[in-house]
Chains A and B, each alone.
Chain A
Amino acid sequence: KQEVTQIPAALSVPEGENLVLNCSFTDSAIYNLQWFRQDPGKGLTSLLLIQSSQREQTSGRLNASLDKSSGRSTLYIAASQPGDSATYLCAVSDMETSGSRLTFGEGTQLTVNP
């Protein structure tokens, strides 16, 4: 059974700092990996999707990497802003369902202080 772990559970940083969020998964047979952002009481917003054959994806100040063999992914946020404060969730989709079923980590709650 796939298990996804995110470290740290919570992180508080001053504005402008670069930061890294970590995600690990137990079964390397994944279809893809996605990073999401969730604001309080809201749904999820997809930030980056990395296919299993890819090593990284970039969007603006965000960069996500994937090392499938070691079961790890990182989300790098450059020059953090207070608006980045949210919970960040990592999710992997499995080959068995051709990517339809996502297994989520518990998330990292990020606070960026002005």
Chain B
Amino acid sequence: KAGVTQTPRYLIKTRGQQVTLSCSPISGHRSVSWYQQTPGQGLQFLFEYFSETQRNKGNFPGRFSGRQFSNSRSEMNVSTLELGDSALYLCASSLERGGEKLFFGSGTQLSVL
């Protein structure tokens, strides 16, 4: 069974631009979560989607948004990039509801110059 796939693996953007990251969950998994990992703040929860609906959201500004498609694939978008948005963005999937074992992708390393 293929694992969680995140694309692209690396991204370099400049301040003010926007970026879209993609996540394909494990086949059959319906819940997708996104996390931001930085050296200073560690891992922080961004949001969770289930059946195309955002179920939970972390404490991030409105520049961070996401969506989930009918095939459970998910995208997250960051608009008006800031230097502080440089981070490893990790996607995780689980079968159904929260509280289950999470399977993480390898992440997208975003650098904002």
Chain A contact residues: helix, strand, loop or mixed: strand
Size of interface on B: residues with Cβ below 8 Å to A: 27
Count of chain A residues with Cβ under 8 Å from any Cβ of B?
26
User: Chain B CB within 10 Å — which of A98, A100, A104 has the most?
Assistant: A100
CB distance from A93 to the nearest CB of B (A): 6
CB contacts (< 8 Å) of A36 on chain B: these are 104
Secondary structure at the B interface, as helix, strand, loop or mixed, is: strand
The answer to whether A46 and B42 touch across the interface, beta carbons within 8 angstroms, is: no
Contact yes or no, B45 A101, CB < 8 A: yes
Instruction: Please state if A102 and B106 are interface contacts (CB–CB under 8 Å).
Output: no
Which residues of the partner chain A approach B58 to less than 8 Å between Cβ atoms? 101
Binding site for B on A (CB under 8 A): 31-32, 34, 36, 41-46, 49, 51, 89, 91, 93, 97-107
Given contacts A98-B98, A101-B45, A104-B42, 15 further A-B contacts (CB under 8 A): A31-B98, A31-B99, A34-B101, A34-B102, A43-B105, A44-B90, A46-B102, A49-B100, A97-B55, A98-B97, A100-B48, A101-B98, A102-B102, A103-B45, A106-B42
